[in-house]
Amino acid sequence: MHAVLAWEILFWLCVGLLVYAQIGYPLVLVALARRRRAPAAEPAAALTPTVSLIVAAHDEEAVIARKVANALALDYPRDRLEVVVASDGSSDGTVRAARRAGADLVLDLERGGKIRAQDAGVARSRGEIVAFSDANSVWEPDALAVLAGAFGDPAVGYACGQVRFVNDGGTNQEGLYWRYELALRGLESRLGSITAGNGAIYATRRESYIEVDPIMGHDLSFPFNMVKRGWRAVYVPRARATEKMVPSIEGEFARKRRMMSHTWPIVLRGGLLSPRGYPPLYALMIASHRVLRYLGPFLHVGALVASFVLGATSTLYAVALALQLGLLVAALAAPIFALRPLLLARYYVLTTASVAVGLWDWLRHGTPAGWEAPEGTR
């Protein structure tokens, strides 16, 4: 009897946390946003601080000239914009192409990883604001002006724009998840600060820039560290960029697996779990949006094992087991029958699994500081 109760507690705990993380937390944010007037993330005043737009690049000869041209064409005073390309040990013509395209400063660095290339770009640049973008990201003409405007609020230390993923076919279902993620990000920003950003379009004040461990990317490490240091980290949806999506679900699994091998060091030893410096609401955001998200695969396994054990004791648990097995079968069937519901099931299963596999990769052999562009995104 006690054993059955223990399994039931495990099942409902796992299911409850999964439902809260995916559905309950967004509802909590909506309720809080309706009750509370949040600080504005985009001040009305037009600001034109000096900006250094830094692009860290490794073997990006195919796209770097287009990226530099896109940066130089932005609707921003040319005398207040510095375009910097930091080549991280490129073995192709990235450096030559960036110089020919007209970048103001091109750094030909030894291979040290993206973070160290960005650090070098910040150290050698002159802007009051340091903005960052990927080599394959295309910014809309007003994106930089809108992003810089966020710093009209003296409390803002970090601002992240909106990246939209372009998919020319393929099976990847990242777009649906990303719209959900951006909706959460917008609510978090209205209430205080976001819990994560993206590498395609973001900026910090020079004085708020942080040098982090080279295996810990800015996307996750910057927002919570800004909050710990007394800054706000905001989302600016009108600052828009586009980026080519990984074509396949399997490619997305590989990309997220690599990302998670960089994420787990931040979670477990990079300070994210320490509540020191977090306001109470932001601590709730970190626990709900980050910690529970990363516990997702383990909660799924707990629910599956518990429902398997309890399946013979109750119709409810038998149905729960059937639903979970059905999700796995749908994911396995997707490569054979490329139907949208099956593809969504496969996307969910593989991207959830990538969280655990990324942890395994990091624990087994560590995480290299260097990076390679995901297949099909250039």
Euclidean distance between CA atoms 231 and 155, whole angstroms: 5
Measured in whole angstroms, how far is the alpha carbon of residue 253 from the centre of its chain? 14
Euclidean distance between CA atoms 15 and 262, whole angstroms: 27
Contact between residue 109 and residue 77 where contact means Cβ atoms under 8 Å apart: no
Contact between residue 85 and residue 68 where contact means Cβ atoms under 8 Å apart: yes
The structure tokens listed for 332 are 């396995």
Compute the residue count for the chain: 378
* Beta bridge pairs of residue 166: 244
How does strand 105-109 pair with strand 129-133? Answer: unpaired
Q: Which residues contact 180 (CB under 8 A, 6 or more apart)?
A: none
The DSSP code for 130 is: E
Q: Which of 243, 237, 251, 144 is nearest to 199 (CA)?
A: 243
Euclidean distance between CA atoms 117 and 153, whole angstroms: 28
The secondary element (H helix, E strand) that includes residue 232 is: strand 232-244
**Quick one: pLDDT at residue 42?**
47
Measured in whole angstroms, how far is the alpha carbon of residue 52 from the centre of its chain? 22
Domain residue spans in the chain? 51-248
Burial of 167 (C-beta count, 10 Å sphere; 0-12/13-18/19+): middle
Q: Which residues contact 283 (CB under 8 A, 6 or more apart)?
A: 275
**Quick one: pLDDT at residue 171?**
80
Euclidean distance between CA atoms 150 and 116, whole angstroms: 26
The structure tokens listed for 318 are 């038998």
**Quick one: pLDDT at residue 1?**
57
**Quick one: pLDDT at residue 376?**
59
How many other C-beta atoms are found inside a 10 Å radius of the C-beta of residue 30? 12
The structure tokens listed for 133 are 């973008």
How many Cα atoms within 13 Å fall on the side-chain side of residue 247? Answer: 7
CATH hierarchy code of domain 51-248:
3.90.550.10
Q: Which of 213, 228, 21 is nearest to 116 (CA)?
A: 213
25: amino acid identity, one letter: Y
φ and ψ of 243, to 5 deg: -150, 145
pLDDT tens for the 378 residues of the chain, in order: 578 889 999 999 999 999 999 999 999 999 999 887 655 444 444 578 999 999 999 999 999 999 999 999 999 999 999 999 999 999 999 999 999 999 999 999 999 999 999 999 999 999 999 999 999 999 999 999 999 999 999 999 999 999 998 876 678 888 888 999 999 999 999 999 999 999 999 999 999 999 999 999 999 999 999 999 999 999 999 999 999 888 899 999 999 999 999 999 999 999 999 999 999 999 999 999 999 999 999 999 999 999 999 988 899 999 999 999 999 999 999 999 989 999 999 999 999 999 999 999 999 998 887 777 766 555
Sequential DSSP letters for 303-371: HHHHHHHHTTT-HHHHHHHHHHHHHHHHHHHTTTS--HHHHHHHHHHHHHHHHHHHHHHHHHH---S--
**Quick one: pLDDT at residue 80?**
96
Euclidean distance between CA atoms 161 and 51, whole angstroms: 15
- How far CA 242 is from CA of 137, 162, 269, in Å, comes to 6, 8, 32
The DSSP code for 62 is: T
Q: Whose structure tokens read 């993620």? A: 181
